[in-house]
Amino acid sequence: MHVFYDDILSRIAEPPLWFDEHAVPRYADFSPEQAAKISAQEVVLLLIRCQACRRDFRDALSSSEAKPVLAPKIEARTLRFGDPPNVRCCSTGPAMNSISVQVLEYWFKPQIHGRLGPEVGFEAWAAQREFARDPKFERVFSSR
C-alpha cells in the first residue's frame, strides 16, 4: 500500500496527470526525464486500473539496469505496477494489486557498447544520455 499524499493532493484542485514509481502525484506532463530513478535506462508510462473501483491511473515505471528489463516484461505481458496510487479512490483499492491495462509510452537510453573515450565523440556520448521512444513496446494488455 502506498502513502496517501494528502499534503499534496489537498492543495491542488486538479487531479494528478500521472504518478511516479513511488506513487507520488505528478502535475507536469509526463517525461521520462522525470522518473524517480535518476539513473533510469528504461521508463514506461503505464495505464493501470484499480481492481476494486476500476479507476484508471497513469503510472511510471523505470529500470536502471544496463540491459532491457521492462521490455521483456512488456512482451511477456507480465509488467505490473503493484498497488495503485493511494488517492482513497475506494476503501480496498489501495491495498490490492492493480491491473495493467496499456503501455502508453516506452522510452529507453541507447547504450554505446565498449569504452567511451574521445574517439567516440561528443554526439555519441550525448546520445547515450537522451531517451528515445520505441512504440513497438506500446501495447494494450487488458481492456477489462
The predicted model scores a pTM of 0.86
Q: Running DSSP on this structure, what letter comes out for residue 109?
A: -
Neighbouring residues of 54: CB distance < 8 A, sequence distance ≥ 6 = none
Dig out the grid coordinates for 73 from the structure: 516484461
Dig out the grid coordinates for 69 from the structure: 528489463
Planar angle of CA 12, 53, 142, nearest 5 degrees:
105
The whole-number pLDDT of residue 114 equals 42
The whole-number pLDDT of residue 115 equals 47
Question: Whole-number mean pLDDT of the chain?
Answer: 88
Where does residue 122 rank: exposed (0-12), middle (13-18), buried (19+ CB within 10 A)? exposed
- Asked if 134 contacts 59 with a C-beta cutoff of 8 angstroms, the reply is no
Question: What pLDDT digit, counting tens, does each position of 109-119 carry?
Answer: 887 434 455 55
Average pLDDT over residues 21-45: 95
Q: Is the pLDDT of residue 125 over 90?
A: no
Question: What pLDDT digit, counting tens, does each position of 47-103 carry?
Answer: 999 999 999 999 999 999 888 999 999 999 999 999 999 999 888 878 888 999 999
The whole-number pLDDT of residue 144 equals 61
